[in-house]
Amino acid sequence: MKQIINSQTNVMTSTTTSGLTIGIDLGDQWSQFCLLTPEGALLEEGRVRSTRSAFQARFGALAPARIALETGTHSLWASELLSELGHEVIVAHVREVRAITGSDRKSDQVDARKLARYARVDPEILHPVRLRDSDQQRDLVLIRARAALVRARSLLINSVRGLVKPFGYRISSCDADCFANYCREELPREMQDSLGPMAEQIAQLTAQIQDYEKQIGTVMAEKYPDAAPLRSVFGVGPVTALTFVLTLADPQRFAQSRDVGCYLGLRPGRSQSGESDPQLGITKAGNTYLRWLLVECAQRLLRIDAPDSAIKRWGQKLCERGGKNAKKRAIVAVARKLAVLLHKLWVTQQRWEPLYGVHSVMAIA
């Protein structure tokens, strides 16, 4: 699983004493590296085991150098270790470096060379990013583990529903937390032996998910008290609030709150050329899980039984424009506005005012 990263450029300003530039293409078992002299000549190429001890032995003896990595599973510990060894580490945004990811001559050796040469000429080419620290990553493990259990439970629930249908039975529609109880009561007697263990497994997963949710609430209250204003928004629970805080990591890294929607891939893409400027879908950049959570919160905000709010009224107006995709577009637009709102509340530490701005507009009218 890739580490979630911050897209804000954070180029290090420290100067290297050796003048060497190193590009490392991180792999799961082996990592390819390329060393360039200050003049750009190829000094050495090779590969090293993707372990802490191997990196310590290979790069610990070198004088401080500029090292470029790609974002990936091993980028967090590798960047921290190399920084501790005194090197200037640049973590390249893999999605932005199309010359590497989109090359028709892609290999680990070629990627390491490109990383080294780009870092030597101008690190801005690599769109440097700043990874979250290890403590935040450990806290995020709780959220990831819960999400994995939720996916496993959904798979089992859908399997049980599908397996009973050929025999003319149906399990009543209900919340996932209550499915195990309904399943025990409504499963036909002749299928208790075959599907009963699945119902028990669903019950165990539900208990584990609820335990994770308690831990998430405790972590947020003890370590991230500044995330409390996010909970004031209807539909935003501790999971969404903590995921939002850990994904963005630093509320001050965005100059404007509206940039958060772009960072999370909730803005339309653009491919303008000459007179052509087609309407595209959202970019879907950034953290997929957080974007999914925001869309889920947006759906709750637009429900009929949701409390009245300015953002709900705005979303309903988008739905009224018509078209078969009007509601879907409105949900995405509300999710983008919700991301901006949550960041604003995080920065200002103010509670959500559902009808903020509505009364002033009515008074003017």
Predicted pLDDT of residue 14: 43
For residue 258, give every residue at least 6 positions away whose Cβ sits within 8 Å of its Cβ, in sequence order, or none.
Answer: 340
> Please, which residues have CB within 8 angstroms of residue 29's CB and are 6 or more apart in sequence?
49, 50
On the question of pLDDT at 129 being above 60, the answer is yes
Query: What is the pLDDT of the chain when averaged over all its residues?
Result: 89
Backbone angles phi, psi at 32, to 5 degrees: -90, 135
Q: What is the per-residue pLDDT for 360?
A: 53
Mean pLDDT, residues 29-58 taken together:
95
Q: Is the pLDDT of residue 236 over 50?
A: yes
What pLDDT sits at residue 273?
A: 79
Taking only the tens place, the pLDDT of each residue in 156-180 is 999 999 999 999 999 999 999 999 9
Instruction: Report the distance separating Cα 161 and Cα 49, nearest Å.
Output: 47
Q: How many whole angstroms from its chain centre is CA 114? A: 27
pLDDT band at 7 (very low <50, low <70, confident <90, very high): very low
pTM: 0.81
Higher pLDDT, 311 or 253: 311
Mean pLDDT of 180-190: 92
Contacts of 225 (CB under 8 A, 6+ apart): none
CA 144 to chain centre: 10
- Distance CA(51)–CA(54), nearest Å, equals 5
Domain 5-131: CATH class, spelled out: alpha beta
Helical axes 238-248 vs 134-164, angle rounded to 10°: 140
Question: Which CA distances in Å does 141 have to 3, 99, 133, 144?
Answer: 11, 32, 13, 5
Contact indicator for 145, 68 with CB cutoff of 8 Å: no
pLDDT, tens digit, 9 for 90 and up, residues 268-285: 887 877 878 787 888 888
Pairing of strands 66-70, 21-25: parallel
Q: Are strands 5-6 and 130-131 parallel, antiparallel or unpaired?
A: antiparallel
Query: So what's the pLDDT on residue 272?
Result: 78
Q: What is the pLDDT of residues 110-124, one digit of tens each?
A: 999 999 999 999 999
- Read off the pLDDT of each residue in 5-22 and give the average, rounded to a whole number: 56
pLDDT of residue 325: 85
pLDDT recorded at residue 6: 46
Q: Percentage of residues in the chain with pLDDT exceeding 70?
A: 93
Judged against a pLDDT cut of 90, whether residue 100 lies above it is answered with: no
**What pLDDT was estimated at residue 11?**
39
Alpha carbons within 13 A on the beta-carbon side of 71: 22
Q: Percent of the chain having pLDDT more than 90?
A: 72
Contact between residue 82 and residue 89 where contact means Cβ atoms under 8 Å apart: yes
Per the rule left: phi > 0, alpha: psi between -120 and 50, beta: everything else, 357 is: left
Q: Say which residues have a Cβ less than 8 Å from residue 116's Cβ, sequence separation at least 6.
A: 21, 22, 23, 34, 35, 36, 68
Q: What is the pLDDT of residue 9?
A: 39
Average pLDDT over residues 23-45: 94
Band of residue 97 on the pLDDT scale cut at 50, 70, 90? confident
| Maximum CA extent, the chain | 78
Query: How high is the pLDDT of residue 8?
Result: 40
Domain boundaries, the chain: 5-131, 134-223, 225-269+281-365
**Are the C-beta atoms of residues 92 and 99 closer than 8 Å to each other?**
no
Coil, helix or strand at residue 332: helix
- The band of 359, judged by pLDDT with boundaries at 50, 70 and 90, is low
More confident site: 198 or 131: 198
